[in-house]
């Protein structure tokens, strides 16, 4: 009986993990957005960043061209570059998502900047984010605040 309960418990933990993973994957056209997340920040912060993996299962290249969110005045596409021995963030016009490939938005690389935050980024909370792709169109998703 104890073994059966342990197995049942392990199955429930596994299945709840699957549900969480599935809840963090959103698809629009040939584009799949996987695990969008943002770091928690102190209430005084006016900028934040969003990370995710964007996959393109199609045969045509696509690009992330813009974003918006009710938690900030604007959303910008950014990258990190090395300039004069320092790491600097710079806006980019679009983020390419190659056909059959992916774009990783991660700390120290490509990311979305939330400029003019109007609320704290509190661990465990969520917020809405709308992304616009050149070919796949527009998609709204939920961003979880906390480590992936």
> Which pLDDT does position 76 carry in this prediction?
98
pLDDT along the chain (148 residues), means of 10: 43 38 74 96 95 97 98 96 85 97 96 97 97 97 92
According to the model, what pLDDT value does residue 86 have? 86
- Cα(114)–Cα(88) distance, integer angstroms: 16
Tell me which architecture the domain covering 27-145 has in CATH.
Sandwich (2.60)
- Give pLDDT, residue 81: 85
| pLDDT value of position 109 | 95
Q: Mapped to the 3 state alphabet, what secondary structure does the chain carry?
A: CHHHHHHHHHHHHHHHHHHHHHHCEEEECCEEEEEEEECCCCCCCCEEEEEEEEEECCCCCEEEEEEECCCEEEEEEEEEEEECCEEEEEECCCEEECCCCEEEECCCCCEEEEEEECCCCCCCCEEEEEEEECCCEEEEEEEEECCC
pLDDT at position 14: 38
């Amino acid at each position: 009986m104890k073994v059966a309960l342990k197995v049942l418990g392990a199955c429930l933990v596994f299945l709840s993990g699957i549900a969480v993973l599935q809840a963090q994957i959103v698809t629009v056209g040939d584009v799949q957005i996987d695990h969008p997340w943002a770091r928690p920040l102190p209430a005084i912060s006016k900028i934040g960043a969003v990370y995710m993996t964007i996959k393109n299962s199609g045969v045509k290249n696509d690009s992330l061209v813009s974003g918006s969110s009710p938690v900030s005045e604007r959303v910008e596409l950014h990258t990190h570059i090395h300039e004069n021995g320092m790491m600097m963030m710079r806006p980019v016009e679009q983020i390419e998502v190659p056909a059959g490939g992916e774009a990783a938005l991660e700390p120290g690389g490509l990311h979305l900047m939330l400029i003019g935050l109007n609320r704290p980024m509190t661990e465990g909370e969520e917020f809405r984010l709308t992304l616009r792709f050149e070919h796949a169109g527009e998609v709204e998703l939920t961003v979880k605040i906390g480590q992936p």
